[in-house]
Structure 1
Amino acid sequence: MQSPVQNLLGSLSGEWKLNLETQIPRNDLYKSRIASSRPTLGFFLLLICSAVIATLGLISNSTAVVIGAMIVAPLMDPILSLAFGLSIADNRLVKRSAITVIIGVLTVIATATLLGWILDASEVNREIYSRTAPNLIDLGIAVAAAIAGSFTLTRDRLSNSIAGVAIAVALVPPLCVCGIGLSMGSEVIAVFGRGSVAGLSNQISEGSFLLFLANLIGITVASLMVFLLQRYGSIHRSWRNLLVWLGLLGLLCIPLASSLRDFSIRQNIDAQFATFKAGRVKQFKLTEKNPYLWKKVKLLYSNVRVSQNNATIELVLNAQEGLITQKVIDELHQRIITRARKDYGINEISVNISVIPNQIFKYNFTEGKQS
Structure 2
Amino acid sequence: MNYRFRKTIVKSKRHIEKFWNQNSGDWHWLSEQPIPIASLNRSLWKAAVPSFQFYFLLGLSAVISVLGLLAGSAATIIGAMIIAPLIGPITGIAYSMVMANRRLLRRSCFTLLTGVLMTVLISMAIAYLIQLRTLSSEIIARVNPTLIDLGVAVAAGAAGAFARSRRSIADALPGVAIAVALVPPLSVIGIGLANRDLNIASGATLLFFTNLIGIIFSGGVVLLFQRYGSIERARSGLAISIVALSLLGLPLGFSLNNLLIKANVRRAVVTLIRNQTLTFSDTDIRSVRVQPQGEALFVQLEVATGLDSISERQVQLVRDFLEQKLEVPIHLNVQVIPVRVFQAPATSGGSTP
TM over 0.5: yes
Q: Which whole-Å CA distance do the structure 1 matches of 2:232 and 2:325 have between them?
A: 54
Q: How far has the Cα of 1:30 moved from its partner?
A: 1.1
Deviations 1:269-328 (A, max 9, x none): 44346xx5xxxxxxx13466445x543222123233468987543212233444433232
Which residue in the other structure is 1:259 paired with? Answer: 255
Which residue in the other structure is 2:199 paired with? Answer: 203
Which residue in the other structure is 1:285 paired with? Answer: 272
Which residue in the other structure is 1:268 paired with? Answer: 264
Over the matched positions of the two proteins, sequence identity in percent amounts to 33
Deviations 1:176-223 (A, max 9, x none): 0100110114xxxxxxxxxxxxxxx22110001110000000000101
Which residue in the other structure is 2:314 paired with? Answer: 328
Q: Counterparts in 2 of 1:1-371, with a 5 A limit?
A: 3-9=10-16, 15-16=22-23, 19=28, 20-185=31-196, 201-272=197-268, 284-286=271-273, 289-291=276-278, 293-305=279-291, 312-337=298-323, 350-358=331-339
Q: Which whole-Å CA distance do the structure 1 matches of 2:152 and 2:62 have between them?
A: 21
SS at match of 1:57: helix
Q: How far has the Cα of 1:47 moved from its partner?
A: 0.5
Ranges in structure 2 where 5+ consecutive residues have no aligned partner: 1-6, 346-353
| CA distance 1:310–1:42, shift in 2 (3 Å) | farther
SS at match of 2:82: helix
SS at match of 1:303: strand
Deviations 1:218-239 (A, max 9, x none): 0001011111111101111221
Deviations 1:1-38 (A, max 9, x none): 76444455556666445531121001111122222222
Aligned-residue CA RMSD in angstroms? 2.7
| CA distance 1:295–1:70, shift in 2 (3 Å) | same
Matched to 1:84, the amino acid is: Y
| CA distance 1:118–1:303, shift in 2 (3 Å) | same
Structure with the higher helix share, 1 or 2? 2
Matched to 1:166, the amino acid is: A
Tell me if the contact between 1:265 and 1:306 (Cα under 8 Å) persists in the aligned partners.
no
Residues matched between the structures, number:
334
After TM superposition, the score normalised by the length of structure 1 is 0.82
Which residue in the other structure is 2:3 paired with? Answer: none
SS at match of 2:229: coil
| CA distance 1:123–1:29, shift in 2 (3 Å) | same
Tell me if the contact between 1:121 and 1:183 (Cα under 8 Å) persists in the aligned partners.
no
